Structure 1
Amino acid sequence: MQIIYWLLIAVMLVGVVGAVVPAIPGSSLILVAIILWGIVSSSFTAIKIPLIVTIIVLFSSMGVDFLGGYLGAKQAGASKWGQIGALVGLFLGFFGLLPTLPFGGPLLGILLGPLLGSIIGDYTCRRDLGKAVKAGIGITVGTVVGNLLQGIIAVSAVVIFIWTTWSQVYGG
């Protein structure tokens, strides 16, 4: 039982990383691990609080992710084309379709892709490089802040799970 417990905690830690890094499953992995623990331990009453918290985390993570990018774009005055460019840049950066970077790989592409995509998209729309760069930085900062908040929320869900189930595994 302890081995399964620690394997599920490892899955949850991957979920915490996924909450911060785009394109890796985040809160959903934490939720699946908690549900699996309820099945394995045959005690869904013991996971009621972590399960409720994780469901709240899952929905708030989606909201924080959307809100972070949106507020960053709005604060910086990004156009719709800048926002579309950031989304396309995220996709291209993550899958390595940008020119090969000497270091960082997809993780650096996740940061540089939206920045460059937003600048290109906004510049195409407005023809003002200064505003385009400001919009790109705003979208990138908003997204990074949103991802960090998602990570904090995901860590809290894992901590609550461990806190409420530790005595179930180790007694006492």
Structure 2
Amino acid sequence: MDFLLVVAVALLLAGVVGSVVPMVPGAGLSLVGIYLYWWSTGYATPGPLALVAFTLVGVGAMVADHFAGAFAAKAGGASTKTTVLAAVAGLPLAVVAGPAGLVVGVTVVVFLAEFYRTREPTRSVRAGLFATAGVLGSAAVQLLVTVSLVVGFALVAI
């Protein structure tokens, strides 16, 4: 078996693991594996259409992962300022406190910002819970996306 194929598959599998581990770019690792294999085949496999599809899915997943909590908070009635604050606060909270810090931190940031803005506890709790659902739902979607990248790669390249 070709060494670069083994490395590419290892990166794809690391992407699956990384999709549920905070601060590990799951979809990004998967894309690196796909592009490594593409390079190792002389830019022949996967074909251009499959490569574009993999890229769009992977990049879309990375963008959605970073902003999921903020978008969900907005869907829960949070203001645009609160949504931006949640998006900005998410990354350092994940770095400092890990997965729990990300989930709890985004929830608390959204709740406090909305409570400060509206003075309505029910509305603030709703926005915070939506943010929590967004962060947790994003992890589940990331897992599905990275697994689908592995399956798609296996179908197209191997």
In the superposition, the TM-score normalised over structure 1's length comes to 0.75
The CA deviation at 1:82 is: 2.9
Instruction: Measure the CA separation in 2 of the matches of 1:47 and 1:78.
Output: 42
The structure with the largest alpha-carbon Rg is 1
Instruction: Measure the CA separation in 2 of the matches of 1:165 and 1:157.
Output: 11
Q: Judging changes above 3 Å, is the alpha-carbon distance between structure 1 residues 21 and 126 closer, same or farther for their aligned structure 2 residues? A: farther
The CA deviation at 1:20 is: 4.4
Instruction: Measure the CA separation in 2 of the matches of 1:27 and 1:17.
Output: 10
Number of equivalences = 157
Kindly report structure 1 stretches of 4+ aligned residues shifted beyond 6 Å: none
Q: Judging changes above 3 Å, is the alpha-carbon distance between structure 1 residues 92 and 66 closer, same or farther for their aligned structure 2 residues? A: closer
Instruction: Measure the CA separation in 2 of the matches of 1:62 and 1:161.
Output: 18
Q: Do the aligned residues in 2 keep the contact of 1:76 with 1:139 (CA within 8 Å)?
A: yes
> Which residues of 2 match residues 8-19 of structure 1 at below 5 A?
8-19=8-19
The CA deviation at 1:135 is: 0.6
> Which residues of 2 match residues 64-75 of structure 1 at below 5 A?
64-65=64-65, 68-69=68-69, 71-75=71-75
Q: Percent identity?
A: 27
Number of the residue aligned with 1:78: 78
Number of the residue aligned with 2:45: 46
Q: Do the aligned residues in 2 keep the contact of 1:93 with 1:113 (CA within 8 Å)?
A: yes
User: Of 106, 128, 145, which aligns to 1:153?
Assistant: 145
In the superposition, the TM-score normalised over structure 2's length comes to 0.80
Unaligned segments of structure 2, at least 5 residues: none
State the superposition RMSD in angstroms.
2.6
Deviations 1:46-70 (A, max 9, x none): 2115423311212432464477445
Instruction: Measure the CA separation in 2 of the matches of 1:111 and 1:88.
Output: 14
The CA deviation at 1:29 is: 2.1
The CA deviation at 1:106 is: 0.5
